Amino acid sequence: MPEALIEATTRPAPLTNLTEDEVLFRDNVRQFAEEKLRPLVREMDEKQVFDHGLIEQFFQLGLMGIEIPEQYGGGAGTFFEAILAVEEISRVDPSAGVLVDVQNTLVNNAFLRWGTEEQKRRYLPRMAANTVGAYALSEAGSGSDAFAMQTRAELRGDEYVINGRKLWITNAKEAGIFILFANVDPSAGYRGITAFIVEKESPGFSVGKKEDKLGIRASSTCELIMEDSRVPKGNVLGEVGKGYKIAIETLNEGRIGIGAQMLGLAQGAWEAAAKYSQERKQFGKPISDFQGIQFQLAQMATDIQAAKLMVYNAARMKDARQNFVKEAAMTKLFSSQVAERVSSLAVEIYGGNGFVKEYPVEKYFRDSKIGKIYEGTSNMQLQTIAKLVLSK
């Protein structure tokens, strides 16, 4: 666990299934998010730029290498702790939450599971200390049909030459290391897909335009361009032709992270709405005194609690090395639904003020929509769930 975050705290633990260390970790991430992140949220959203100093603080606090072993400079924490961090940061700003999420649940996890010892020694200390990572799978014609990718890699001597384009890559602008997927043998179909470790300075590699998005606007989402980009043969992650396995299994873990992001978002929206309902008066009394508002807030709180239990359960199962594929799909599906529903109701509770940028809930509402889209759409989660529950 990152030592920088283990400090005494007096905040009570609302959940009995967290250990004392987990409570301390969670509460210190929350304190950091409130004190350092919240003052920057609106400006980052409006400018669509992530504050570089904030990223440096993420590294200093150990939030970018939570599961990385101490021998590589990481915090030697658990997947569950990474999920707690994503939840608490997303409660204040989902744009910041997804940056931490991709780093920990996708990129770091891929290195830990499939990297050679040499690759771990070379890259994990950087991932823990100062280098943002990105996960490059999607293409313009290869979203839900991830294995229809057109990016090609050809072995020439001791190097692979990669050509193609990737689209909608989170963290692309800030990243220095990319886990990038390309097909080395199109005739073999998905069995030609291979994962490569690509550094930003690689010849022929460049980051294209940053998308102008509806939500999570501070989080960079960019195109990647490979024009005869040269990558050393030793930068193959896992086995040649086994990239499809890496992609599927890593995304299974990542979906729990997106569930945590959506959970934190919903919690933040609910807290704002509950507070405002006690401040805004109509007909001579706070709107929280009206049963209609009370019932909405009660239903929102119930949905959030259900999502929390699903997220935590899936994360615990992953740490326990149990099969969590179904639970991860359910977690992402349900948490994204809850985030959209809760943030929408939060806007309504604010009334006219909920529709203007001066108040926080319109941003939560905008940010919530991506939860049903990236790292597997809701329809893809339903397909996975159906396949698993009907196979018994």
Rounded distance, CA 276 to CA 289, Å?
12
Determine phi and psi for 346, rounding to 5 degrees: -60, -40
C-beta of residue 174 within 8 angstroms of C-beta of residue 197: no
Catalytic: which of 22, 87, 223, 375? 375
Residue 88 catalytic? Answer: no
C-beta of residue 336 within 8 angstroms of C-beta of residue 381: no
C-beta of residue 264 within 8 angstroms of C-beta of residue 89: yes
Rounded distance, CA 4 to CA 101, Å?
19
The DSSP code for 33 is I
How many of the other CB atoms lie within 10 Å of CB of 291? 8
Distances (CA, A) of 389 to 30, 311, 317, 325, 383: 36, 19, 17, 11, 10
Q: What angle do CA 155, 136, 59 make, to 5 degrees?
A: 115
Q: For residue 378, what are the contacts with CB-CB under 8 A and spacing of at least 6?
A: 333, 336, 337, 372
Distances (CA, A) of 39 to 45, 214, 275, 294: 12, 21, 18, 30
Rounded distance, CA 177 to CA 189, Å?
26
As beta bridge partners, residue 20 has none
| Residues annotated catalytic, as ranges | 375
